[in-house]
Amino acid sequence: MSKKKKPRIFVILECNECRFNLQKRSPGVYRYLVSKNKINTPEKLELKKFCTHCNKHTIHKEIK
């Protein structure tokens, strides 16, 4: 009996403002680990999450 590939995978979301802004509150890039269904959402995720380095809600995009 063969095992099927599961449709859910883990992806990493990274803050856009931390990534490109050199003058921010504290150094570093904030990341979230979330799961997504690769069959229903084949495109990259974009979610609005809280970033502790920016100290506000920002858009987090999926990275490789």
pLDDT digits (tens, 9 = 90+) for 24-42: 666 667 889 999 998 999 9
CATH assignment, 8-63 = 2.20.28.120
Contact call for residues 49 and 33 (beta carbons, < 8 A): no
pTM comes to 0.76
- How far is the C-alpha of 17 from the C-alpha of 58, rounded, in Å? 7
Average of pLDDT values for 13-19?
Answer: 86
Instruction: Give the pLDDT score at 16.
Output: 86
Tell me whether residue 31 is exposed, middle or buried, using C-beta atoms within 10 angstroms of its C-beta: 0 to 12, 13 to 18, 19 or more: middle
- How far is the C-alpha of 11 from the C-alpha of 43, rounded, in Å? 12
What backbone torsions phi and psi does residue 17 show, to the nearest 5 degrees?
A: -70, -40
